[in-house]
Amino acid sequence: MNRARIARFGLSLFILLGVSLRIHPAHAQQWRFEKLDDFPNPVGVASPFAGQSGSVLLVAGGANFPDKKPWEGGKKIWHDQVYALEATDPDRSKTLWHLVGKLPRPLAYGISIPWNDRVVCVGGSDASQHARDVLVLGYQDSKLSIEALSDLPVPLANACGAIVDGMLILSGGIDRPDATECQRKTWGLDLKRLQAKDQPALWLELPEIPGRLRMLSTAATWNDSLLVIGGVTLAPGPDGNPVREYLSECWKFELDRAALSGRWVRQADLPIPLAASPGPAMVRESRIWIAGGDAGDQVGVAPAAHRGFSKKLYAFDPAANRWSESSQELPFARVTVPLVRWFDGWVIPSGEVKPGIRSSEVWWIGN
């Protein structure tokens, strides 16, 4: 082989290897997106509780501005209605919403976590204060059930959490509406003990998350660990009001079940800061997926000029401790909204499309 051919071969091999190195499993994943029937509240709501019970999708509470936008002097309203989305055929092509009951009081901005074919609803806020409530919603025989578990040790909203080996683990958040600092505490509730009816399940104080104090992070369960991804930290501004800084940090809490403890391990940072992404995050094909979020790149932008939130999909490979960006984008952008496992996919029921603006659209994500 002459030198020219060797050079051409080497260049071709370099290009091929370069392309191969740039390709990551995140790019190979092809997602499908389908619109379901709109949420019954025509304005839509931010941060309701949501999850599957039986074959239905429950969506409860949430908050919105039903009359005027906030910059027009509109008042935020918290809701207590509980709706069920029912699929009327096996392939989910026909769905129907029903009003099935009410929460004990209006609530939003809490955490929704599936457990034992029910939905655990933790904390949140109403129009005047943050909540310590922990409720379990279930839907059987066309009837809504609501059970109260042990109250949180502190009021908590805008936190994140998930269940790891039967332990409900919460991280971050704020304890009052005017807080200028986020919570550092990590709390755990042993649901295995509760399910066994051994002793009353009480909240445990687990090791505090290192790094920046945070809220509006996104949680994910991976094996025996909880991941806490992104979010914002707060600090008092010159006028005393809270100022946000957007975070790209990612932390993993490795649960030690026997000791009812664990340790935090720093993971690779997100490619960009992201907060209030739909959660808990999707887990599929050995990857944890973050579906959009608020990148903080439009803070201070006038409402009319706001372009909406991020539509990017990011995948985290826990084995390689590496993030990658998908070649696909979401056909929508939502923040402050649950991401609910349903019909071999995930549902984003309503949510916020721009600051102060919600959408009644309901999207299914699958592949």
pLDDT of 24? 47
From residue 42, give the alpha-carbon distance in Å to each of 60, 67, 226, 253.
Answer: 15, 11, 35, 39
Report residue 200's pLDDT band, with 50, 70 and 90 as the boundaries: low
Rounded CA separation 256/12 (Å): 50
Q: What is the CA radius of gyration of the chain?
A: 21
pTM, to two decimals: 0.90
Q: Strands across the sheet with 225-236, in order?
A: 218-222, 225-236, 242-256, 261-267
pLDDT of 174? 98
Which residue type does 40 have? P
Q: What is the DSSP letter of 3?
A: H
Which residue type does 110 have? G
- DSSP, collapsed to helix, strand or coil, labels residue 87 as strand
Asked if pLDDT for residue 228 goes beyond 60, the answer is: yes
Asked if pLDDT for residue 5 goes beyond 60, the answer is: no
Lowest mean pLDDT among 24-28, 73-77, 130-134, 232-236: 24-28
Which residue type does 207 have? P
Report residue 30's pLDDT band, with 50, 70 and 90 as the boundaries: confident
Q: How many residues does the chain have?
A: 367
Q: Provide the token pair at 15.
A: 């290009």
**Dihedral Cα 330, 334, 339, 343, nearest 10 deg:** -50
The b-or-e profile of 8-41 (16+ CB within 10 A means b, else e) is eeeeeeeeeeeeeeeebebeebebeeeebeebbb
In this structure, which CATH number among 2.60.40.1180, 2.120.10.80, 3.40.50.10260, 3.60.20.10 belongs to the domain 27-366?
A: 2.120.10.80
- DSSP, collapsed to helix, strand or coil, labels residue 18 as helix
Q: What percent of the chain has pLDDT over 90?
A: 83
Rounded CA separation 8/230 (Å): 45
Report residue 16's pLDDT band, with 50, 70 and 90 as the boundaries: very low
From residue 259, give the alpha-carbon distance in Å to each of 91, 205, 207, 241, 252.
Answer: 44, 12, 12, 40, 17
pLDDT of 22? 35
How would you classify residue 191: left for phi > 0, otherwise alpha for psi between -120 and 50, otherwise beta? alpha
Q: Nearest Cα to 146, choosing from 101, 84, 196, 192?
A: 101
Q: Strands across the sheet with 118-122, in order?
A: 111-115, 118-122, 134-140, 143-148
Rounded CA separation 348/339 (Å): 5
